[in-house]
Amino acid sequence: MVAGVRAEWERLRSVVIHRPGIEMFFGLLDPYAALYERAFSRYEARREHEHLEYTLRDEFGVRVLRLKETILDAADRDPAVRRRLVDWAHKTVTIRGGRNEVAAARRNMEQNADALDSQHFFTLLLLDPVIEVDRERVGAGVDVRIIMGQGPLANLYFMRDQQAVAGSGLVVGRLAKPQRSREAEITRFLWEILGIPIAGAVREPGTFEGGDFMPMGDFALVGTGDRTNLVGIRQFLDCVTGFDEIGVVQQPGHPLIPSRRPDPMVDMHLDTYFNVVGSGVVIGSEVLLRRARVEIYYRTSGGYAPSGEITNLYDYIRSKGFVVIDLSVLEQLSYAANILCVRDGTILAVEGEGVMRTVLANLERKAAVDMARYGQLLQHAQQDYHRIRGARQFFPHKTEFRQHDIEVCPLHLENLTGGYGGPHCMTCTLERG
């Protein structure tokens, strides 16, 4: 299988998704530690994800691969894949206790492997458990306690970030937060199973996440900031070809949050405040686009080199001939920018009314604890809500979409967005065109 994407508006052909499972349960025990925005219903989140899959596959004819199921099917068909999965899972598990008890537990794991289904071992990868074994007195049984190691991969359903796919192929990323650091190992296992060539991989100390990459035809945008650093971008650019120029976009600080105490989560990736609607139309928060510094790199015989040209993202994208549909502060906070273009001029978008209410409620709780940090943002967001409700223009039911002949497919994602992302974040695009 070959992966390749040249422009974000080309027809979407194939994607990979991951239906959240038991790892989300553990993430919801402490949503903020798991990098979630808020608490939500895991049951309803899974139903929303099922509908996302149905919409892509049955309404738009996209080939949809599910991460876990594809790996498990391969393991059940191919003994070599199964052996890799089992060995990797056993290596992942940490066992603590007395030397004899640990050795016995390791032997039991290996002896029991043939009796266990492949999903058992995939779950071990998701949860990274630490097993504590201890024999407290002679003749007594072994006391077993299970705790989480590095933490369950509660964000794995955001399949955009572990890699980026450009015209030159797939580049494996390196995620910035420790809660997500193991995700790219699992997705790389999938790419190897599917036979997808890997153009390169970002290595330490570089970090790179796919939500910061936007292919735009002859040029591309790459965001840098809290999740993707400049070292990671340089490594990524060494693997990428096919674009005449690259705009490296600096993550902007939000003007309604004190600069001495920023909150990078509100615009953590490029695709949280900017996205593509079609071949001539983009969407974004103008207030953030104008604050986002862009340095332009040009392709040379030796790779991409900085030109020294500096601008901002709003002016840069306008200079390329794109119309910008502006988003209000509340719309941007409510994942309106995180749309997924399925073909030129057709998008999947978050149905905004319910999400706006939950985002506002969460922002009110944060402001109650820290008014100096979030008070201005809350006040502006509340004003946006009253204006939008009065005009009955809840996203994505905007006149600008009708003016530009944009077809919109709204999705109810009130729970899934609680993890800090929308349909763009939840899909790894493998092929467009």
DSSP class of 118: H
Q: Is residue 173 part of a domain?
A: yes
Q: Which of 148, 173, 201 is the endpoint of a domain?
A: 148
Regions of the chain with pLDDT less than 70:
135-146, 148-150
SS3 220: strand
Closest listed residue to residue 226, CA positions, set 207, 241, 244: 207
217: region left, alpha or beta (phi > 0 left; psi from -120 to 50 alpha): left
Inside any domain, residue 128: yes
**CB contact at 8 A, 388 and 304:** no
Strand partners, 15: 64, 429
Residue 211 lies in a domain: yes
What is the predicted pLDDT for the residue at 135?
A: 64
- Tally of structural domains, the chain: 2
The DSSP output letter for 135 is -
Same domain for 347 and 287: yes
Write down the pLDDT at residue 1. Answer: 83
**What are the tens digits of pLDDT across the range 248-269?**
999 999 999 999 999 999 999 9
Sequence-ordered strand ranges (E) for 104-197: 129-134, 143-148, 163-166, 169-172
82 and 137, same domain (yes or no): yes
Q: Same structural domain for residues 306 and 381?
A: yes
Q: What is the pLDDT of residue 136?
A: 60
Whether residues 20 and 57 share a domain: the answer is yes
Residues 226 and 324 in one domain: yes
- pTM, two decimals, is 0.96
In degrees, to the nearest 5, what angle opens at C-alpha 151 toward C-alphas 149 and 152?
A: 120
Residues 274 and 346 in one domain: yes
Same domain, 135 and 237: no
CATH number assigned to the domain comprising residue 356:
3.75.10.10
> Which amino acid, 46?
R
The answer to whether the CB of 424 falls within 8 A of the CB of 271 is yes
CA distance 33 to 420: 13
Inside any domain, residue 2: no
Please give the helix or strand (H or E) that residue 388 lies within, else none: helix 371-391
Last residue of a domain, one of 148, 183, 215: 148
- Kindly state whether residues 144 and 161 are assigned to the same domain: no
Question: In this structure, are 138 and 180 located in the same domain?
Answer: no
d(CA 286, CA 289): 5
User: Do 61 and 76 have their domain in common?
Assistant: no
Q: Is residue 395 part of a domain?
A: yes
Are residues 278 and 382 located together in one domain of the fold?
A: yes
- The residue written with tokens 């808020």 in the block is 38
Assigned domain for 5 exists: no
- How far from 59 is each of 161, 348, 412, CA to CA, in Å? 25, 11, 16
What is the DSSP code (8-state) at residue 59?
Answer: I
Alpha helices, DSSP H only, in 2-142?
Answer: 22-28, 42-54, 67-77, 79-92, 99-112, 118-127
Tokens describing residue 366: 């944060």
Q: Are residues 108 and 249 in the same domain?
A: no
Domain boundary among 99, 132, 148: 148
In a domain, 4, yes or no: no
Does the residue 394 lie in any domain? yes
Determine the structural domain holding residue 424 and report its residue range: 12-68+153-432
Distance CA(270)–CA(251), nearest Å, equals: 7
Summarised one tens digit per residue, pLDDT across range 124-144 is: 999 999 888 876 644 445 566
Name the amino acid, one letter, at 306.
Answer: P
